[in-house]
Structure 1
Amino acid sequence: MQMIIAPAKAMRVDTDSWPVASTPALNAEAATLFRSLQQLTLAEAQAVWRCSDRLAATNYARLHATHFDGPRTPAVIGYVGIQYHYMAPDLFTAPAMAYAQANLRILSGLYGVLRPLDGIVPYRLEMQSRLPDHPSLYAFWGARLHDALDWSAPVLNLASQEYAKALTPYLRPGERFIECVFGRLQGARVQVRATRAKIARGAMVRYLAERQVTTLAGVQAFDHPEYRFDPARSSDDRLVFLERT
């Protein structure tokens, strides 16, 4: 059973916590996109990133100071965000990281699909971004992200819609893409709060890695003080976890 998560916008260089163990499977394609980014003017880059003047200047300077071939940080360590904070991959045991390397995949606008210990450089490029040379990253990547995953068992979706929809057009009959929903009851409706969902997704990855979970029954047993599995609101392709009251 594999699981997918989204990247984070903020990144860091960390060559000490875990060693790089692998190269991104779609590294050649990523190099093409990286060169396209480096050819942009500051104004063009800011339009792609849709950020403030200060962030644009900082990211533009970093872009032109970065060499695509290194130094590289393991992907799961390089991203800095809420989900990654609660995943705490820098504190993984060796068995937990080995499980993550085999089963966890990070979808990326630049790199396509990443294993946790794939070496990457800092960048800023969301999947929904539009480059002058590549106005749709969804079209650029096509079916390659789907085809990079192992569909012989269910794939657990712990990513945002922006990244999950890079896979859904290419699903084939018999392939199971299981959505995990973390929310609270608002009347009869399950309301998802973005920040809390990111926290829960990070905790879920950590839980699965620590326990070496390989079945959906193991996923449903997610033991978290703030969430409980709700079988009544779940289905074959949707697992709902509700905030405890």
Structure 2
Amino acid sequence: FLTSAALRFHAKPVAEVACRSTPRLQSKAKALAQELRKLEPKDIKKQLHVNDALAKEYAKHLGNFEGQQPVPACCLFDNRMYDALGAPNFDDDDSRWANQHVRMLSGLYGLLRPYDEIQALSLPASLNTKLTNSKGKFLRDYWRDSVRQDLNDALQKLPMPVIINCAAEEDCQGILDLDGLPEGTRIASVEFKTIDREDAQDAKGEFLRWALESRCMTVEELLEFRGLEGEDDAASYRVSPKSSSTDALVFEENKGEGAGGGWSKKMAESGMNKAKFVKEFASGKNRYLRTEINKALVKETKKNRKKTAVY
């Protein structure tokens, strides 16, 4: 499974995880940081399109790249997809499985595993970020050969070389090239067609979590994904037969009766408003439940509106 690293980090990341590892390309990451230290704040400001304060902050951090206590990447990454994945809460077996089968494209580290320890104040840069280095104008120029080789090594250990691409399209440009991968490698992209664009990120996180917990090893197994609701709830997603192909897994929202009544009922019984309810039931180690609760409440609201609509 291939994803893109988040550009925003949690201010207070989860400290306790079942697994920790060292980035495989850490020496090259240190060398890159050494190169980028030569950039003046004005250069960083111009190339990253940030204000003076941020440019100075990034320049300061590059000058002290290893000065912070490293934190597992999955604990730091702060976006809807990684929150829905909930990797910091994985047990030992699931975390080690994730480290074997998930790779994350990163501007500063090239290719990461979920539990690789990285700097908590790292420069928010993707492979598509324009930062002048010894290999070219973009960070992808610096990492291209190393990332391809690392992907190649990981794929050769699999019985069937398959890449399930959940990464940003711009990060994959010039990186995912079948000519540089083991013979017979199959690349399949994943897309969720949702009304709200942010919901698609939630869905990708849930999809990845489900696939890892289910130990899916083939594309065909992934087609069984229907969402993370309980057994008695209706499916949240279904495969789009019109849009899917051998190289693209496209899921769409299930238009039938959605799940969500359980959380809505629980909130009503609690007497809390939505903000307090979510904080009560989805904080700390249960933070990953925020996606599930919010989505369920939205579905229930839409469902009730339809029931009371006048035509």
Match of 2:7 in 1: 9
Once the 2 structures are TM-superposed, how far is the Cα of residue 58 of structure 1 from its aligned partner? 4.2
Determine if contact 2:161/2:184 at 8 Å carries over to the other structure: no
One-letter amino acid matched to 2:142: F
C-alpha distance 19-93 of structure 1, shift in aligned 2 (>3 A): closer
Distance 2:174 2:76 in 1: 22
Structure 1 residues without counterparts, runs of 5 or longer: 185-191
Match of 1:131 in 2: 131
Distance 1:206 1:19 in 2: 16
Once the 2 structures are TM-superposed, how far is the Cα of residue 31 of structure 1 from its aligned partner? 0.9
Q: CA RMSD in A?
A: 2.4
Match of 2:280 in 1: none
Within a 5 Å distance, the mapping from 1:16-35 to structure 2 comes to 16-18=15-17, 21-35=20-34
Which piece of structure 1 moves more, 39-48 or 198-207?
Answer: 39-48
Report the 3-state secondary structure (helix = DSSP H, G, I; strand = E; otherwise coil) of the residue aligned with 1:128: coil
Structure 2 residues without counterparts, runs of 5 or longer: 228-234, 256-311
Within a 5 Å distance, the mapping from 1:121-200 to structure 2 comes to 121=119, 122-124=121-123, 125-133=125-133, 134-149=136-151, 150-151=154-155, 152-171=160-179, 172=181, 174-184=184-194, 194-200=197-203
1:44 aligns with 2:43: yes
Once the 2 structures are TM-superposed, how far is the Cα of residue 243 of structure 1 from its aligned partner? 1.8
**Greater share of helix residues, 1 or 2?**
2
One-letter amino acid matched to 1:165: Q
Match of 2:292 in 1: none
Within a 5 Å distance, the mapping from 1:202-221 to structure 2 comes to 202-221=205-224
Once the 2 structures are TM-superposed, how far is the Cα of residue 183 of structure 1 from its aligned partner? 1.0
* Aligned-pair identity (%): 24
Determine if contact 2:128/2:138 at 8 Å carries over to the other structure: yes
Once the 2 structures are TM-superposed, how far is the Cα of residue 100 of structure 1 from its aligned partner? 0.5
Which piece of structure 1 moves more, 131-140 or 167-176?
Answer: 167-176
Distance 2:140 2:104 in 1: 15
Determine if contact 2:18/2:92 at 8 Å carries over to the other structure: no
Aligned pair partner of 1:241 in 237, 240, 251: 251
Report how many residues are paired: 235
Match of 1:71 in 2: 69
Report the 3-state secondary structure (helix = DSSP H, G, I; strand = E; otherwise coil) of the residue aligned with 2:21: coil
Report the 3-state secondary structure (helix = DSSP H, G, I; strand = E; otherwise coil) of the residue aligned with 2:132: coil
Determine if contact 1:15/1:72 at 8 Å carries over to the other structure: no
Determine if contact 2:37/2:62 at 8 Å carries over to the other structure: yes
Report the 3-state secondary structure (helix = DSSP H, G, I; strand = E; otherwise coil) of the residue aligned with 1:71: coil
Once the 2 structures are TM-superposed, how far is the Cα of residue 62 of structure 1 from its aligned partner? 4.0
Report the TM-score, using the length of structure 1 for normalisation: 0.84
How big is each residue's C-alpha offset from its partner over 1:61-86, in whole Å with a ceiling of 9 and x where there is no partner? 44445426x52111111211121111
Determine if contact 1:109/1:137 at 8 Å carries over to the other structure: yes
Report the 3-state secondary structure (helix = DSSP H, G, I; strand = E; otherwise coil) of the residue aligned with 1:43: helix
One-letter amino acid matched to 2:84: Y
Distance 2:25 2:3 in 1: 17
Tell which structure's C-alpha radius of gyration is larger. Answer: 2
Which piece of structure 1 moves more, 35-44 or 192-201?
Answer: 192-201
1:102 aligns with 2:100: yes
Once the 2 structures are TM-superposed, how far is the Cα of residue 54 of structure 1 from its aligned partner? 4.7
C-alpha distance 198-19 of structure 1, shift in aligned 2 (>3 A): same
Distance 2:113 2:167 in 1: 15
Distance 1:163 1:50 in 2: 18
Determine if contact 1:143/1:170 at 8 Å carries over to the other structure: no
Could you list the runs of 4 or more consecutive aligned residues of structure 1 that deviate by over 6 angstroms after TM superposition? Answer: none
Which piece of structure 1 moves more, 119-128 or 8-17?
Answer: 8-17
Distance 1:91 1:4 in 2: 20
C-alpha distance 170-147 of structure 1, shift in aligned 2 (>3 A): farther
Distance 2:193 2:223 in 1: 15
Report the 3-state secondary structure (helix = DSSP H, G, I; strand = E; otherwise coil) of the residue aligned with 1:132: strand
One-letter amino acid matched to 1:100: A
